[in-house]
Chains A and B, each alone.
Chain A
C-alpha cells in the first residue's frame, strides 16, 4: 500500500510539473506585453521592466529562469500588475483561506442535506416526496450557482434584509458567518442535488437487493434493514463523488465570490489573466491543478484501500 501511495504521489508531482510548464508557456505566449498597458509609460521604462523580468528574452530562456528560481530558491516570482512587487504566493496566501473556508463549509453543509433528501426520495420512491426531491435535484443541477447567488442576494439580502448583501471582511465571529451565509448557501445547491441524486439511485437499487429481502425475512423491521444494510451499502460509493465534488465547488465559486465581494481566489484568476500578470496566473493555475490532483489522489488512494485489486492491478 505504501508503495502504491508513493507511486501515486510521484505521478501527481510529474503531472503538476507538466501542467505548470504548459501553463507557463501558454501564458507567456499570449498576445500583448505585460507593460504595454496604455498608461503613461515611456519606452525606456517598458524596456527596463522587460529586461528586469526577462520578458525580452526567448521563451525557453524565460522558462529556464522560471525553473531555476523555483528549484534553487523556491521563488515563484512576483506579481507585475495585481499587487506589484509582492511574491505571488503571498497573494495566494491571503486569498486561499477564505476560498477554502467558503467551499469546504458549503460542501460539508450540503452533505447531510443531500443525504437526507436522497434517503427520503429512495424510501418514498415514486411518491410525491420522491417527485419533489427529483424536481429540486433537476433545478439545483441545471441552474448555475451564480444565478442562485444573485437571487439570494436580491431577495434575502436586499429586499428582506435578513443577511448582509456582501461578505463582511472586517466582521468577526457570528457577524462574519452571518455575512458568509448567502455565498455558502448559493454554493450548496449543486452538491446537495448531486448527493441526493446519487444516494437515491444507490439506495433504491440496494433496497431491491436480495440481501435486503433476506434481512427482512430474518425479522428486521423496515427501518432496521434500511439503516443497517441498505444505507451502509449505499454510502460506500458516495465517497467517489464527494471528494471530486470539492474541485467542482471551487470552480463554481469563481462568480459567486465576485457577486458577494468575497476576496477569495475567484476574481483573482480572471483579473490576473486580464491584467497579463503572468507569474500570478501561473501560480493560480498551479493552485487549481494541485487541488484537482489532490482530489484525484485521495480518490485513488481510497480506492486502493477499499479495493486491493486497484493497487495490485498494474503489477505483472
Chain B
C-alpha cells in the first residue's frame, strides 16, 4: 500500500508541475496591448460614425482621411513575419509589412485617379538630382520635419547609417546585394562588403543633414535610381534600436525581430506584435502622406491552413482572402472574386546537362515538348491564362505611355498560333529527335510540388504527351515533393547534374522593368533553376540593363523580345500558363483602386472600411 501511495504521490506531483507550467504560460502574451488597440479601434469607429452622422453622409470615412483613420483592415496570412529588419528579411510577405511601417527614399503610390502606380519621393523631397554630366553622380534631398514614431528626427543621417549597416562586412546582411547592385550598381559597394576597400571609397556620401550623394558604376537616368531605392530592402533603419539589438562582436542584431526592437516611421505603426501569430498596425498620424491612408489600422493573423482562412472569411472575420487553386472552384461564380495577374509565367524547366537524359539537350526534342503542350486546356483546368511567352501581360515596357510589352508588335511577334499547341508538329519533331539520338523510347521523370496546380498540370502532361508521342515511345513519370525540397534539388544542378530531369519554374519579377526580369537566366544569377548558360543572352541582358545606348528608343523593347525568343524558340524553357491570382473581398472593404495596378496591386493599404 505504501508503494502505491508513493506512486500516486509522484503522479500527483507530475500533475501539479504540469498545472504550474500551464498556468505560467499565459504570461507571455501581450494581451493588454491588443485590448487597448481594439478599444482604440472601436473609438475610432465610433468617432467616425458620429462624424458621419453629423455630416449626414453614408460614408463613415468622411470626405478626407482623418489622422486616426477609420476601420481596421483584417487580413490572414499563411506566412509568418520572421523579421521586420529590411536588411535581413527572407520572404516577400515580410517585406510588405516592413514597407507598411518604414520609409524608403522613393516608393510607389497609386496615381491621382487610382488606376496606375506613381513612383515618387517618400522620404526624398524630390527626384534625384544629376550632379555630373555622365549621370553617375546623383544627389538626393531629404524632406524636412520627418520623424520616427517616438518623435525623433529622421533625416539623411539615418539613411547614411542604414547604408553603412547594410554593407557592413561583419553583419554580412542577406539583402546587401539588393542595395549594392540591382537596378544600379553603387561604386565599390560590394568591394566594401567583401572587405576589399574602405568605407571612404564607397560611392555613398553624406553631404549634410538633408542631402546624400550616390556614385554609380554606369550612367543612369533618375527613374532607375528611384526604382532601385524603392526596393523594400532599402527601408530606413533606426540607429538607436539597431544598436540596442546588436551583439557584442557586432555580427548580429535583433532589430526588427520583436516589438521591443522595432520602431516605425511608415504609413502604419506597429501597435502590438505576437511573433508568428498576430500583428496589429495603427495609422501613423505623422506619416508624410497620411492623407492617402483611410484605414485606422490593420490586423494580421497568421493562419497557415488555407481552409481555415476561408472559414474566417465566410464568418466575416477577415476582409479578403487569396483563393488557392484547390478552393477556387467553389467561388468561381462569386461576384466578389477579384482577378489579377500574378506577374509570373509558370514554365517547364529542363535540365539539359543531365548525363542520364542526353535527349534533353536535343533541341528538336525540347521543341516537341513545347508544341505538345496544350496550354489552353491546362489553363482551363487551373483557372489561369494560357501562355506561350515568358514576359507576363502586366509588364510595362514604356512607362510614359503605360504600354505593356505584350501589346507591342515585338511582343505579339513572339506569340504562336493556338498558344503553340501543334500535336502534329510535336510528333514530327519527337520522331526526328529520337532518330538523331538513336533511341526508341524516352522515359522522363518530372518533379513537382505536391499541391495544385502543379499536381493537375503534371498529371495532365503525363497523359497528353504520352498520347501525342505514343505510349510505346514516351513515358513521363511523376515525383511529388515539397516546394522547398524541389527548389533545393533543382538548384543543385551545378554540383550534381543528375539532380533532376524536368520540373516547373516561375519567377515573380520587376514588372516595370521587363528587361531586368530576365536576370534569372543570366549565367551569373546565383540561384538558377536550370543550366541555361548563354554568353549571347548575357550580352543582350547587359546591354539592356547597363549598356550606353539603352535609353535610345526601341533598344530595350528589342532586347526584351530577343531575350524572350532566345529562351522560348529553342525551348530552353517551356512556358505553359500565366498565373492568375484570385481574391475574395468582403463588402465592408471598399477599394480605392479602380483596377489592379502594377506595384500597388489592389492597394489594400489605401482601401476604406465602409461598414
Contact = CB atoms under 8 A, between A and B. Distances in A.
A104 B311 contact: no
A166 B78 CA distance: 13
A275 B21 contact: no
A48 B173 CA distance: 9
B274 A37 contact: no
Interface string B297-313: 00001111101100110
A315 B418 CA distance: 83
Contacts of A52: 172, 251
Given A41-B177, A48-B169, A84 B89 contact: yes
Given A85-B254, A101-B21, 6 more contacts: A32-B492, A42-B181, A48-B169, A79-B82, A104-B18, A261-B304
B277 A169 contact: yes
A123 interface: no
B276 A274 contact: no
Contacts of B257: 83-86
A154 B305 CA distance: 13
A43 B524 contact: yes
How many residues of A sit at the interface, in one of the four size bands? 35 or more
Contacts of B399: none
Nearest to A47: B194
B26 interface: yes
Nearest to A257: B304
A261 B18 contact: no
Nearest to A308: B3
Contacts of A307: 3
A94 B251 contact: no
B150 interface: no
B305 A261 contact: yes
Contact of B4 (A105, A150, A236, A271): A236
B253 interface: yes
B484 A275 contact: yes
Q: Which of A37, A105, A235, A260 has the most CB of B within 10 A?
A: A37
B85 A84 contact: yes
Contact of B177 (A32, A42, A97, A158): A42
B401 interface: no
A53 B160 CA distance: 27
Interface stretch (B9-17, B45-53, B57-65): B9-17
Contacts of A171: 31, 34
A86 B272 contact: no
Contacts of A32: 484-485, 487-489, 491-492
A38 B487 contact: yes
Contact of B22 (A43, A104, A242): A104
Interface in B148-189: 169, 172-174, 176-178, 180-182
A276 B90 CA distance: 12
Contact of B26 (A43, A101, A243, A263): A101
B83 interface: yes
Nearest to A266: B304
Given A44-B177, A100-B22, A305-B10, A261 B526 contact: no
Interface in B255-313: 257, 272, 274-278, 280, 301-305, 307-308, 311-312
A40 B31 contact: no
A259 to B, nearest CB: 5
Interface in B22-38: 22, 24-26, 28-32, 34-35
Contact of B90 (A84, A232, A242): A84
A258 B305 contact: yes
Nearest to A165: B311
Interface in B224-277: 251-254, 257, 272, 274-277
B301 A243 contact: no
A165 B312 contact: yes
B228 to A, nearest CB: 12
A78 interface: yes
B526 A154 contact: no
A306 interface: yes
Contacts of A268: 276
Interface in A229-273: 232, 235-236, 239, 242-243, 258-261, 263, 267-268, 271
Interface in A18-40: 31-33, 35-40
A98 interface: yes
Contacts of B485: 31-32, 274
B178 A305 contact: no
A215 to B, nearest CB: 15
A78 B252 contact: yes
Contacts of B274: 169-170, 263
Contact of A39 (B180, B317, B527): B527
Interface string A130-160: 0000000000000000000010011001100
B82 A81 contact: yes
B276 A31 contact: no
Nearest to A246: B18
Nearest to B21: A100
Given A39-B527, A108-B18, A158 B182 contact: no
Contacts of B302: 261, 263
B479 interface: no
B397 to A, nearest CB: 21
Interface in B518-532: 519, 524, 526-527, 529
Nearest to B527: A38
B374 to A, nearest CB: 28
B7 interface: yes
Interface string B70-112: 0000000000101101001110000000000000000000000
B573 interface: no
Interface in B481-530: 482-485, 487-489, 491-492, 519, 524, 526-527, 529
A274 B10 contact: no
A49 interface: yes
Interface in A193-211: none
A37 B486 CA distance: 11
Contacts of A44: 176-177, 190, 193-194
Contact of B24 (A37, A97, A267): A97
Contact of B174 (A45, A98, A172): A45
A63 B393 CA distance: 49
B54 interface: no
Nearest to B252: A85
B484 A176 contact: no
B315 interface: yes
